Structure 1
């Protein structure tokens, strides 16, 4: 890639006026991935890059992305934002599976023609379609691609679905991702943590020369110890209890089962605390299942489910806590950990995924082996009873977070974009690209024939993609329906037993 030879304190002036098609699976401040994407889009546009964003519709109807005009006083000469039809994920309606769409249609609806570069943020249903269709283009018409691998879909499948469905889905995702990422049109794949690099290397067989580390930044003005609110603390803990805090979408793969066990054990050992949970799930059944894991503690008044928070309210919730608990083992980065550190709140996290790279154990926070419940509880107990130690970790964590600026991270991406565009232009000028059909290797007699064959081939692949989507959702839908029925039966079982007993007694 060559970004290391550039001054990452500077934005590349050569990217101004370049056309970038950015495709993302979610858009708006609904999660760490989409918040990262929004920050990048804003930085690119503020320096004059022409960025058109394509994403599925946000079915939650909140936290939508607000485009900004390019500098110069006049509006952009392209469509800044295109929303696609899609099907919301049953277990996370913030995200949608994009219905099959032609790449040529995306070009037409954004810039009116091919862009200079395609950037895929956390590619899944939409990103896979783009990479699949690029493969069907002749080499001379392929637009170079940069991917940012931010979501470990394979790991999610292992947790969400029972064996053997989870294991099968995990292997399928690894195969598909490797097949798509290894294609020459994909020039760079940014990865956020060491664990993700291992996955891409070993499970997906992506070569090293395509991989480039890219951390995330944090807004240290927004996430700041100065946002602490004593009134909020009194509402949570009127008797001065220790405030344990976590922020996450309420879903099983986020480690709430582990968190509930840890909190129950802390209660048994006499720690006087309140556990504050920020986040929710637009699927009410999934959210209820997560809350059920902490039912006994909630009945004791030890847990506060605060719901979704954004903006200043979210900043205040972070800064008003005493200890941040991170129990997920599926995070490719774990932006919430960095946000907690920036807010001056010490972190205790399971040593898996992104947090392992963010936290310097013993100095900016604590890392505990992912399956060591006893070690996690013991660490929280010790930290909860040692205000001076919490203060030391908070200061060191804040200092470390202040080094992770969005500007430097955005500049690194921008330099990679410019390098990729210029390299592609040099290749085309040298005339080194072939005019064969990539997937079959057949020489074709003319451009009109090539276009006709490619059009039919793309239609065939889109038909196949639609079949895969429908088949996948048939399996997932059946499983979720079964899980929901089981949940309802378990929830109503005590009432049914009581009714039966009443009838039998009469």
Structure 2
């Protein structure tokens, strides 16, 4: 597909929504939805932008298994039963929440035809897969088995490094097996002609995708935007600062879900070293985990510093409370090395707070070393601590970095980012419409070569080589093909689910043991 199927210049791309996308039907499938993490907040912003500009978007996402309902999309209606022809719907489907992160769900097998029926009543104009995993993989697998004329074009936004998570969360040899399996599945699915574009957020992700043999012609960079009105230096709260640092301590902040893959072990070591070096600081950790056992395990890494009043866990914060948390800090510490982008880094910069991050993943593209913060070698604890000490001791430099960070964030608006996605959607739909129009002009029985050697056969049914086969038999054969593919996916989910049950059981046992120790200590 050509890079510019619809003529426009860069300025138009940044300020104008494509008129041709208004009224188009977009099926958006996502693994999580709502302002619960950076990936889902990004998807929510896109959905609202598309709907506000006249595109018809139906969202399919797993049920929210968390206790807190933080999701209020625009023009939203939750379906309890089947509905045909409705637009701007949000369909919740069943799945198994991951024990270490209930915000993510392994979706049970679902047929693509069912999603069509429950959203638009028929096939959409385009399918958008946000951070495809269990749901996105199912959609791509079933699309592979459709005849060419029924393949709806797919755009993917690769936002989560699942392989990186597996390498950290699973012990050997499961981590090696899981990483290899995910890499092969992604390569197999992303390389199919139905997948037209794969957005990636950073050079780190592009290198990974290229290593997985994904065609570079499909890859297009898409960084994230930030709400520069919500996240602003003016949200600095003197009240919060006085509560956290009554004696004028330097306030360090980390905003992240409390999870094993988020670098909290490194952060705990860094905080301990900062304390040993005599830095007068308060570390304010904003975030939590819907699984209390995982949260308690992370907090246990900071037990001594928490008892000494050096570390404060704030729990989840959203909206104005989150904005005030950012802006009231002096330095943001980012210790995760699995982030494909790291939206919290950009939110911190918009709040006028410089960032010190490990030089791995998305933050490597966001933080300008020596201008808006510092990047340090990912495994060099001493270098990380040195940078914190230096910036904490130099108020003038912090102010300079703060101004630079805010200025950089002001150029990353959601409107510009989401309009880029909208233009790619419009181009992809227009390209397919032209292909189908050209294919229908062919004489009966002829076909035209499609992308990557695929064949278009709009006038010849997929079972044209058996002209006497009735529709019922054709449907049964097509069902068998889909069921076969779904069986493979289901077997994978069963294996992963079984292992996750063991994780959940292990966390429960740890919780019981911890409670016994606390009970004995109190006795």
Superposition deviation, residue 176 in structure 1: 0.4
Q: Distance in 2 between the 1:79 and 1:42 partners?
A: 10
Greater CA drift, 239-248 or 59-68: 59-68
2:132 touches 2:156 (CA, 8 Å); kept in 1? yes
**Do 2:26 and 2:58's aligned partners in 1 also have CA atoms closer than 8 Å?**
yes
- Residues 121 and 148 in structure 1, CA contact (< 8 A), matched pair in contact too: yes
State the superposition RMSD in angstroms. Answer: 2.2
CA distance in 2, matches of 1:79, 1:11: 18
Q: Match for 2:90 among 81, 85, 97?
A: 81
- Do the aligned partners of residues 14 and 240 (structure 1) sit closer, same or farther apart at CA in structure 2, a change above 3 Å counting? same
Partner residue in 1 for 2:262: 254
After TM superposition, give the deviation of residue 482 of structure 1 in Å.
3.5
Which stretch has the larger CA shift, 478-487 or 239-248? 478-487
The alpha-carbon deviation at position 62 of structure 1 amounts to 2.5
Offset of residue 434 of structure 1: 3.5
Residue 467 in structure 1 maps to residue 491 in structure 2: yes
For residues 189-219 of structure 1, what are the alpha-carbon distances to aligned partners after superposition, in whole Å with 9 as ceiling and x for unaligned?
00000010010000x2101001000000000
Residue 243 of structure 2 corresponds to residue 226 of structure 1: no
**Offset at 1:238?**
1.1
Cα distance in 1, alignment partners of residues 233 and 470 from structure 2: 62
Residues 301 and 441 of structure 1, relative CA distance in 2, 3 Å threshold: farther
Q: May I ask how many residue pairs the two structures share in their alignment?
A: 490
Q: Distance in 1 between matches of 2:61 and 2:159?
A: 16
**Residue of structure 2 in register with 1:73 after alignment:** none
Query: Can you list the C-alpha shifts for 1:392-420, whole angstroms capped at 9, x where unaligned?
Result: 00000000000101111111100100111
Q: Which whole-Å CA distance do the structure 2 matches of 1:125 and 1:32 have between them?
A: 19
- TM value normalised by structure 1: 0.93
On the 8 A contact 2:51/2:88 being kept in 1, the answer is: no
1:132-172 per-residue CA deviation (whole Å, 9 max, x = no partner) reads: 11111111101000000000000000000111111111111
Tell me if the contact between 1:136 and 1:457 (Cα under 8 Å) persists in the aligned partners: yes
Report the equivalent of 1:329: 337
Match for residue 346 of structure 2 among 329, 338, 344: 338
Match of 2:201 among 192, 208, 211: 192
Instruction: Find the partner of 1:51 among 46, 52, 57.
Output: 57
Residue of structure 2 aligned with 1:402, choices 410, 426, 430: 410
Aligned counterpart in structure 1 of residue 456 of structure 2, from 409, 430, 434: 434
1:251 Cα shift?
Answer: 0.6
1:450 aligned onto 2:474: yes
Residue 29 of structure 2 is aligned to residue 29 of structure 1: no
Distance 1:94 1:139 in 2: 35
SS at match of 1:430: helix
The reply on whether 1:124 has 2:133 as its aligned counterpart is yes
Say which SS state the counterpart of residue 198 (structure 2) adopts: strand
Q: What is the TM-score normalised by the length of structure 2?
A: 0.90
Query: What SS does structure 2 have at the residue aligned with 1:131?
Result: helix
- 1:38 maps to which of 36, 41, 44: 44
Q: CA deviation at 1:480?
A: 4.1
Could you tell which deviates more after superposition, 451-460 or 398-407?
451-460
Structure 1 gaps, min length 5: 71-75
Q: Secondary structure of the residue that 2:197 maps to in structure 1?
A: strand
Give runs of aligned pairs for residues 48-447 of structure 1, distance below 5 A.
48-69=54-75, 77-78=86-87, 80-202=89-211, 204-431=212-439, 432=448, 433-435=455-457, 443-445=465-467
SS at match of 2:456: coil
Aligned partners of 1:35, 1:355: CA distance in 2, in Å? 18
Distance 1:480 1:139, change over 3 A: same
CA drift of 1:63 comes to 3.8
Q: Secondary structure at the match of 1:29?
A: coil
